[in-house]
Structure 1
Amino acid sequence: MKKGLFFILLCAVCLAIPAQAQKFGYVDSEFILGKMPEYQKALSEIDKFADKWSKDIQDKYVEIEKLQKGYQAEEILLTEDMKRDRQRVLSEKEREAREYNNKVFGYQGLLFEKKKELMKAPMELINRAIEKVSLQKKLDFMFDKASDFVMLYTNPRHDYTDYVMEELGLDAANKPKPTAAPAPTTPTQPVNSSPDNKTTTKPK
């Protein structure tokens, strides 16, 4: 639904601008980010936080497991009141573990907020570079090949990824090449086989 609405709005904007004045371009933000040290550093930091929080949650469940085993081993010796107290403690511990897990890894939880915080710097860098290149090249629209907006075909001459990477001081080596359409096949000349198994083109 959102993609359809975006496409309709895009068409409306395009129609509002004289065709001769329109100038389009696109970049591959996913490739650019993959080359940015700031992005790699942010990913490393995110992994560290995720690992730490995962360990905290694991420790909580290890503690719960120990309490459960202790309760099962002593259950026969406990009074009913003591059993209820132990069960209440276990239930609270389990509830705390679930709530902490949701707090960290749930929708818009701590990990989500940490990602947003750490990704802010590299995203601002790439956005400023894209804006600068767009102004320098006098582009009316700059699209992102890595976005949800599906680009069914992209002409390489409209690819400004290299310019943005140059603006960021990054090496564009190993940049993915666009997939070209297969060249039309043409009839081949008949060939003659020579005695030494080599093929020779029939003279015109």
Structure 2
Amino acid sequence: MRLKIFVSVFIFCAITVSAQKAQRIAYIDMEYILENVPEYLDAQNTLDSKVTKWRGELDKLTRYIEKLKTDLANERAILTQDLIQEKEDEITLKQQELRRLESLYFGPKGDMFLLRKQLVKPVQDQVYNSVQSIAARRQYDFVFDKSSDLVMLYSNKKHDISDLVLKAIVRDRKIKQNKEKQAAKKNPTKGLSDKQKKALAAKEAARKKKEEDRAARKKKIEEARKKRLADIEAKRKLLKQKKEAAKKKKEEDKKKEQDNN
């Protein structure tokens, strides 16, 4: 609460002190921006899925502990003191495990905090950098977040630069994707794990083998075609030779007959 008051007073004083010159003020709607950034939605869905899984584990363990307590209450009258102590120890251990998991998953530096930082913070940083760039380029003195705890009683839509921030994010994403595509063409295995590299190498080997097989089949077909043409040409020549020989023999026989007459 003190922080909010301090921020409000600071902004008021800053605007008052520099009232002599025209102030350039803009605002963004962080919720609107993040809801329209695919990377943020993907990160949030991944985080929500993990949280659902963790809460399911905790709920399952909680139900198990309640069952142990119920069973002990129902059976206490017929159990020996040693068995009662054993069941109470089991309940205590399970309760300790529950508290440990709650701290592990949802503690100040638990898995949810770390995963949110890993998934969501890069997108928030992207928004922040875009705001900084736009504010510097357009020379804004102040840029507020409409969806933050700082209450905005009135805002003129013409001062809303949320769409400008979204356009800047989309532009930066396209530039990054183009750079990644060019880098991937130059070095396809850069940034890949050993497993992905092996898969890519296997895929490339399969592609080359397929091309080699296709070239071998094409060569075989071409050789068979040439052989057929050669066989046809050889038969044609042989037939021609036979016809010429027959014609020559016929002419010789005719000449002999004329000479005998």
Deviation at 1:164, TM superposition (A): 1.1
1:122 aligns with 2:128: no
Deviation at 1:31, TM superposition (A): 0.5
Instruction: Output the aligned Cα RMSD.
Output: 2.5
Distance of 1:169 and 1:151 partners within structure 2: 27
The match for 1:142 is: 143
Distance of 1:76 and 1:145 partners within structure 2: 62
SS of 2:170's partner is coil
Deviation at 1:46, TM superposition (A): 1.0
Q: Which residue identity lines up with residue 61 of structure 2 in the other structure?
A: K
SS of 1:20's partner is coil
Deviations 1:127-173 (A, max 9, x none): 11111111121111111111111111112222212211111228xxx
| Structure with the larger RCO, 1 or 2 (CA within 8 Å, 6+ apart) | 1
Deviates more, 1:5-14 or 1:59-68: 59-68
Map 1:41-190; keep pairs closer than 5 Å: 41-68=42-69, 71=72, 75=76, 78-106=79-107, 109-169=110-170
Deviation at 1:26, TM superposition (A): 1.0
Query: So what's the TM-score if we normalise by structure 2?
Result: 0.57
Higher helix fraction: Structure 1 or Structure 2? 2
Deviation at 1:61, TM superposition (A): 2.7
Distance of 2:159 and 2:70 partners within structure 1: 65
Distance 1:153 1:71, change over 3 A: closer
Q: Which residue identity lines up with residue 117 of structure 2 in the other structure?
A: K
Q: Which residue identity lines up with residue 140 of structure 1 in the other structure?
A: D
What runs of 5+ residues in structure 1 fail to find an aligned partner? 171-204
Q: Which residue identity lines up with residue 25 of structure 2 in the other structure?
A: F
Q: Which residue identity lines up with residue 92 of structure 1 in the other structure?
A: L
SS of 2:140's partner is coil
Deviation at 1:14, TM superposition (A): 2.2
Distance 1:15 1:69, change over 3 A: closer
What runs of 5+ residues in structure 2 fail to find an aligned partner? 172-261
Q: Does the CA-based 8 Å contact 1:57-1:97 persist in structure 2? A: yes
Distance of 2:23 and 2:76 partners within structure 1: 79
Deviates more, 1:63-72 or 1:160-169: 63-72
Distance of 2:43 and 2:145 partners within structure 1: 21
The match for 1:24 is: 25
The match for 2:217 is: none
The match for 1:179 is: none
Name the % identity.
29
Deviation at 1:96, TM superposition (A): 2.1
Q: Does the CA-based 8 Å contact 2:37-2:166 persist in structure 1? A: no
SS of 1:26's partner is strand
Q: Which residue identity lines up with residue 156 of structure 1 in the other structure?
A: K
Deviates more, 1:82-91 or 1:122-131: 82-91
SS of 1:25's partner is strand
Q: Does the CA-based 8 Å contact 1:26-1:145 persist in structure 2? A: yes
Q: Which residue identity lines up with residue 142 of structure 1 in the other structure?
A: V
Deviation at 1:8, TM superposition (A): 1.5
Q: Which residue identity lines up with residue 99 of structure 2 in the other structure?
A: R
Deviates more, 1:49-58 or 1:18-27: 18-27
The match for 2:34 is: 33
Distance 1:84 1:12, change over 3 A: same
Q: Does the CA-based 8 Å contact 1:38-1:121 persist in structure 2? A: no
Deviation at 1:81, TM superposition (A): 1.7
Query: So what's the TM-score if we normalise by structure 1?
Result: 0.71
